[in-house]
Structure 1
Amino acid sequence: MPFTSPRSESSPPPLSPYLAQDDWLAIWLGAIVLSVSLVLVAWFGNDVGQFVAKPGGWRESPVAALIPTSAGVLHSPLVGSLVVGGALCLLFAVAQRIRGERVASFVPAFAVIFLLALMSFVLAGHEVVKAYNLEYALWALMVGLIISNTIGTPRFLRPAVLTEFYIKTGLVLLGAEVLMSRLVALGLPGIGVAWVVTPIVLITTYWFGQRVLKMPSRTLNMVISADMSVCGVSAAIATAAACRAKKEELSLAISLSLTFTVVMMAVLPMVIQAIGLDPYVGGAWLGGTIDSTGAVAAAGAALGDTALEVAATVKMIQNILIGVTAFCVAVYWTTRVDASRTGERVGAGEIWRRFPKFVLGFLAASIVFSVLHAFVPGGAELTEAMIKTATKTCRSWLFCLAFVCIGLETNFRQLLPQLKGGKPLALYVCGQSLNLCLTLLMAWLMFGVLFPPNGN
């Protein structure tokens, strides 16, 4: 079953049954955010960053994360956060009306979830927490989990618990950050690390889950395999939509991913320093194995600017595989898995219906902004300023909202049957071990032997 919330009988009919689908609406919302951000940055420059913000860091009082003593209230992260929250509330309220949902129920629910996301950012901003690279995603998930597993998720919040909708829109924004120029910058070595190892690990892990571990759920096996091998939550969402996984299976895969991401982004830099890896090799290893883009950047920064740039670039190159993976899974699931159950031949129409359409927005944003960055005079500066001051912040808010919602939707009593026998954990550990070994080998081969950066 796809992850869709049941509509209330009192809800108005959709304004457009075709556009009411989350995937198409995510593309439109992403396009609006990107277009408005581009225009604002072109008009106001970097000043836009003063009014598109998220909470900052703090040491003694959390108030400093929202209203630093060095800034006035008008230009504080609090005001910038509220501006983003208001804009997102407006956009998603319109989207909910198009979907045929009650806006009056959505707005107050969104306000509460936004405040929970705001609290998650504040918690992640403490200097000790930042020193351990415990990102906002983990805190957002924990906030939601605490509520859902203690008092239970209040019924009035459910109209704004739109996990996939937030992430899909955020992924369209992510497409603008995946610039082809970065792919060209690292060239064949980066492609070798990101595009050769990833499909090998995905296919091998899925085969291992089916044939060796004998996972009872094919969909859970596929979502965990894609989550671990491609790029974490983003790939999990796209793959889950393509194979029609259950929401409990998606939550389990994401929980495993976040847990191991925290461990890997703390441990891998220490391992790289201990064995004395070259910054290019070490950065490529980080970029190809750690799931979250933010965690990759944090781990790479611990090794220096070179490792940070290589790690982030390899991860961006790997992110391109989100669309490819979703398409391949949709084709495989419709022509092999579902067809074997029904005994009927599946046509191209069913593959198209199964394919997560928001991936088209991700690819379109990548192409459009890559062209703008490379071929339009002043486009590089404009694109980079837009990403830095506006769209990356909006994407972070969307992902934070989504992680709060994942926590609110996840109940440990429902997850326990999925963890029975420890097979999901064993699948993730074995797959990630293979990923670590193959990625390190490919990173050393590409950057250390075949294409050394210094030509040595």
Structure 2
Amino acid sequence: MAQDTDIVIDRGKSSWSDLWTREDYLAIWLGFAVIAVCIFAYFNFGPKAEFSPKIAEADQIQQVEETKAPFHTIAWHKAADDKAKLKASASPFGKFVSHWTKHPGSWKDNPLDAFVRSEAQAKAMNDKAMPKYEEAKAKADAALALAKKAESTAAAAGFANQALNDDAQARISDWRAEKKKASDVRKKTENKPYNYIPTLIGLCLFFIVIFGLGTSLMGKSAGAFAIGFPVVFLVATLAYMMGSQAIAKQYGFGAEAWGILLGMLIANTIGTPKKVLPACQVEFFIKTGLVLLGAEVLFSKIMAIGIPGIFVAWVVTPIVLVCTFIFGQKVLKIPSKTLNIVISADMSVCGTSAAIATAAACRAKKEELTLSIGLSLVFTAIMMILMPAVIKAMGLPLILGGAWMGGTIDSTGAVAAAGAFLGEKAMYVAATIKMIQNVMIGVTAFCVAVYWCAKVECEGGRSVTVAEIWHRFPKFVLGFMAASILFSLLDSTLGKGLSEAMVEQGVVRGGTRLLRDWFFALSFAAIGLSTNFRELAKYFKGGKPLILYVCGQTFNLILTLAMAYIMFYLVFPEITAKI
């Protein structure tokens, strides 16, 4: 059957050749090729043998310290710091990958600073930051001295005096806070010169090869893709540059939003050149990125917060999705059911990732997907700034505030950034709940596929077969789930310390995430370049999509806050106390 380019995924008969000719499967193979290379390189040529005894020694120190005192001692924290310094991404392979996947850096006034920094500029920046670092370091050293004194006093009493224990714990917390401030300032004294232009050219050529091969296997012209791709890559690079500007970064207006904005600006002014359109492989880029995202969704993270987090992420989400969809159909009477469900999933589950999976499951039009993603990006930026301020103004506990943000802000990155405004604990809770919620991507896609086959597009007198549901189901979600299972098994097999050093700080942060970020950036640039305002206008008629998103998100905010409070503070307060 001929491919309908106006929808996210088409119908078709399954055959063995789908495994190497269909976009979803090719996204899985490409994603797992990246994963396989990273795992092989880090575990065969990485520092695993060097890290293992160091982690074992640090674990031993922490175990001894836990038996000595009813709180985490200075020695315990120093052992934790020693483990945190162990990062496989600092290995030769990690440095190689990091070097060739660089995106434009931070800048304030001159956009060229995002691409090139001279040795003189780096030295000037370091010299300027050094006095602040020395001041912060002095405060951290003073706080450490007070913490040592308080801990010694508590130890002299055999850690039996609660008042002395509380004082020691408070002093240690103060030291940790000052130490983090000093560490953050120290990074500003470690600026190095760079020239990202050659590496960006090399990365562009690499993407032309891997995605060009996939395009060729799908029966399309690899040559046409290669001709148009540099423009898509250029827009994505400029989007990274704009997102790295100091003010844009502060307000959460990142590369995703800039990619769509710049692309749409080109498409609706001078017009996207016809030679560029074959390279706008939106779904291929983002589906491959979503397969790699699975590497970051670990079962251990799901269990870290336990049942309260699962209730916030897995109970609230489907309720909000279904209620928002019904509201859109029954109250707002949105003509397009596909637009309605894509916006509902985007807003309730986890933003753009859920939107693309849902759009594929219900065969939404590409303009509907673009509209949904645009709404998500705008409200994500707004909520990332406003929610921490509202939480502080309301005086909510950090754990409750983190859970609230994790369940409502769409983007995983924005959730972590918003949580950071409130502190480490809020950021941990928010990011963990968002990771738990990400698991719903596959479940949502499957349920939408079943519902669309059985109800929305059901023909009278004909029952829905398993084969029809399989045709409808977005296969790349299987890659996402497989990656999650694989990395969860790695995590549980290696143990917490070695998994953090080798998998999280190696395979993921030094490999899969670097490319995943680029794949997402390319997809948003391609969305913008292939979007026509006139096509979007008809979906905005009466402002119904905006009303749907606002009403759905309002319901989401209320229900998530209520569920988080009930689960974390009324039903399972003992779990909350241990976080």
Shorter chain as denominator, the TM-score bin is over 0.9
Matched with 1:179 is 298
**Does the 8 Å CA contact 1:209/1:221 hold for their aligned counterparts?**
yes
Distance 1:5 1:206, change over 3 A: closer
CA distance 1:98–1:18, change in 2 (3 Å): same
Query: What is the match of residue 190 of structure 1?
Result: 309
Distance in 1 between the 2:42 and 2:198 partners? 18
Structure 1 residue 435, shift from structure 2 partner: 0.3
* 1:54 and 2:103 are equivalent in the alignment: yes
3-state secondary structure, aligned to 1:140: helix
Q: What residue in structure 2 maps to residue 227 of structure 1?
A: 346
CA distance in 1, matches of 2:23, 2:264: 24
- In the alignment, the residues of structure 2 paired with residue 366 and residue 216 of structure 1 have an alpha-carbon distance, to the nearest angstrom, of 36
1:237 aligns with 2:360: no
**Corresponding position: 1:413 with 2:534:** yes
Give the aligned partner of residue 462 of structure 2: 344
User: Which runs of structure 2 are paired with 1:317-336 in the superposition (5 Å)?
Assistant: 317-336=436-455
C-alpha deviations, 1:407-446, integer Å up to 9, x for none? 1121111111111122111111111110000011111112
Give how far 1:79 is off. 4.7
Partner of 2:563: 442
Deviation, structure 1 residue 343? 4.1
Residue aligning to 2:493: 375
Q: Give the direction of change, closer, same or farther, for the CA distance of 1:176–1:2 in structure 2 (3 Å limit).
A: farther
Q: Which runs of 5+ in 2 are unaligned?
A: 8-15, 47-87, 90-94, 123-190
AA of the residue aligned to 1:25: L
Q: Which residue of 2 aligns with 1:10?
A: none
Per the alignment, residue 259 of structure 2 pairs with 140
Cα deviations by residue, 1:172-212 (Å, 9 ceiling, x for unpaired): 00000111110111111110110010000001111111111
Q: Which amino acid aligns with 1:432?
A: Q
TM-score (norm 1): 0.93
Equivalents in 2 of 1:301, 1:3: separation in Å?
Answer: 44
Candidates 310, 321, 328, aligned match of 1:209: 328
Instruction: Give SS of 1:156's match.
Output: coil
Provide closer, same or farther for how the CA distance between residues 440 and 78 of structure 1 changes in structure 2, counting only shifts above 3 A: farther
**Deviation at residue 83 of structure 1 after TM alignment:** 4.3
Whole-Å Cα distance in 1 between the matches of residues 309 and 578 of structure 2? 16
**Measured at CA, do residues 183 and 280 of structure 1 come closer, stay the same or move farther in structure 2, by a change above 3 Å?**
same
Name the CA distance, whole Å, in 2 between partners of 1:297 and 1:400. Answer: 19
User: Counterpart of 2:299 in structure 1: which amino acid?
Assistant: M
Partner SS, residue 454 of structure 1: helix
1:423 pairs, out of 516, 526, 544, with 544
Aligned positions of 1:16-415 closer than 5 A? 16-42=17-43, 43=45, 45-46=88-89, 47=95, 48-69=97-118, 70=122, 76-339=195-458, 341-376=459-494, 378-384=498-504, 385-415=506-536
Contact 1:114 1:401 in 2 (8 A): yes
CA contact (8 A) 1:135 1:295 kept: no
Task: Show CA shifts across 1:357-392 (max 9, x none).
Answer: 000000000000111111136344211122112211
How far apart, CA to CA, are the structure 2 residues paired with 1:289 and 1:78?
Answer: 38
Structure 1 equivalent of residue 79 of structure 2: none
Please tell me whether Structure 1 or Structure 2 has the larger radius of gyration of its CA atoms.
2
Q: What SS is found at the alignment partner of 1:155?
A: coil
| Inter-partner Cα distance in structure 1 for 2:366 and 2:6 | 11
How many percent of aligned residue pairs carry the same amino acid? 51
CA distance in 2, matches of 1:142, 1:382: 37
Q: Is the 8 A contact 2:242 2:254 kept in 1?
A: no
Displacement after TM superposition at 1:62 (Å): 2.2
**Are 1:193 and 1:284, in contact at CA under 8 Å, matched by a contact in 2?**
yes
Check conservation: 1:113, 1:401, Cα contact below 8 A. yes
Say whether the 8 Å CA contact 2:257–2:374 is kept in structure 1. no
TM, length-normalised to structure 2: 0.74
- SS at 1:302's partner residue? helix
Distance 2:411 2:323 in 1: 21
**Counterparts of 1:323 and 1:99, CA distance in 2:** 24
Cα distance in 2, alignment partners of residues 264 and 35 from structure 1: 37
Distance 1:368 1:79, change over 3 A: farther
Assess if the C-alpha contact under 8 Å between 1:283 and 1:310 holds in 2.
yes
Which residue of structure 2 lines up, in the alignment, with residue 9 of structure 1?
none
1:179/1:17 CA distance change after superposition, 3 Å: closer
- Post-superposition offset of 1:50: 3.0
